[in-house]
Structure 1
């Protein structure tokens, strides 16, 4: 959008690893700062049009790549150590720390896509006052269509044990699952997917205790044609937050241009743009 300035920077994760990030600065004085937390294996560039739109509405927007993804990917992914908890604890939390320190007198919000919405609950930040989750859910496969669940089980049980040792990472791009990702990320994600209640059922995570620390208002938006975000899974994530903090909303795909939204269409200009101002209204 005219007037928005864009700057590429690096932010140090909590363990010191450098993360690629982009700041979308509005033309005038920013009324708040919003961090955009990506879905699994989706590079930050996918969200540029949406970030630019929010900047045009007066919000400063920070996008970033989790370790092992996009601009935060090392020269080789082979053997690169990373987990989904690292993405939340080391990466997302550090970006929130950076924003809170850089702009201490402004409201801080988060827009989280899929895992990006989960990540805030796993690593909440006390400065964040409003969170909007887009297709953010729990990945408990009992709540998903049998075809989706069957695919995850097959990849986890039969292909990953062969492909990860061979390649040194999980070649997600082969299966239309975003960018290739660190093997540890894929293993942890699929283990959660096949665990009842997702990460809430993993005693090593302590997800219930993590979510209990959330103080922000949380609004989760789902779509009725999203095979990776069924209503029950979105409601399941909402229930993990402290009572009274989380609300849910479901948008009918037929109301979008072309009649389709799915798991990724919200952030595409061609399908999601009519709904973008609704997110701005939820960010306080």
Structure 2
């Protein structure tokens, strides 16, 4: 069925080639009128791109060309099984780490949008993991504005209690044993979507490190100072994962700029809760979404 909220928007499911040629499932949202901005929306860990459909359509109505996509091994970018109707292929043996998502998938999505809409202001929207890796991208200099939503250096002790203890137990006592036994992390264990083994194991190593990904030995960390565009990081006060200290720690990596960090409470938007995922609910169309769109388009 058609979504009435998308009536004034062209929506096209496409395939986006990653840097190594791997086919990524993506959706392009285009306004029926003139295009003024290009926006790339980058997903949280284990979150399907369909979560961002409403927000992407809203931005498209305001004149933005918007792309959403799934990282390799997740969502519709997971390979299909040779048997059964439209069944996903097992992730056992599938090689994909979080740093691969950054280097191969997100980097390619940035390049694709920059090439296709080279004459427009280009904004990067990163939710949680999607915002964490902005600084790792070798081509982050192509981005003029970055809006990070609930994006943080996700060290477990920076989460609120008792959530930090639940996460510690889930990752170490359930997630790692299951992943090592099965060869992948099953989403039904508490994450939402199945994850490739390497991605999950790398994520756990970051979550257990006091400075999160900054404690890793990734060469791509050298790209953090290269980002010199505008950056706004949005905290949600009732988000147990992306707390203000965790967001500040992530933003500290962008040493060439002074990121703007803002905190929004549920009361600010007239709702009972927002949390880690709630920004993208349609009830925030006239509050959080409008503010985000105005900030994104302020760079025209």
Distance 1:31 1:272, change over 3 A: closer
Aligned to 1:262: 275
Question: Cα offset for 1:200?
Answer: 0.6
Question: Cα offset for 1:154?
Answer: 2.1
Q: After TM superposition, list the pairs within 5 Å mapping 1:1-284 onto structure 2.
A: 1-74=6-79, 75-123=89-137, 124-175=139-190, 177-202=191-216, 204-206=217-219, 208-271=221-284, 273-283=286-296, 284=299
RMSD (Å) for aligned C-alpha atoms: 1.6
Work out the CA distance in 1 between the residues paired with 2:284 and 2:33: 28
Question: Cα offset for 1:165?
Answer: 3.0
Q: Count residues in correspondence.
A: 282
Q: Which runs of 5+ in 2 are unaligned?
A: 1-5, 80-88
Work out the CA distance in 1 between the residues paired with 2:189 and 2:285: 26
Question: Cα offset for 1:163?
Answer: 0.8
Q: Which runs of 5+ in 1 are unaligned?
A: none
Stretches (4+) displaced over 3 A: none
Q: Deviations over 1:14-54 (max 9, x none)?
A: 11110000000011121011000010010101100000000
Question: Cα offset for 1:243?
Answer: 4.1
Distance 1:188 1:9, change over 3 A: same
Q: TM-score, length-normalised on structure 2? A: 0.89
Q: TM-score, length-normalised on structure 1? A: 0.94
Deviates more, 1:115-124 or 1:7-16: 115-124
Q: Deviations over 1:99-148 (max 9, x none)?
A: 11112211211111011111211114222100000001101123122433
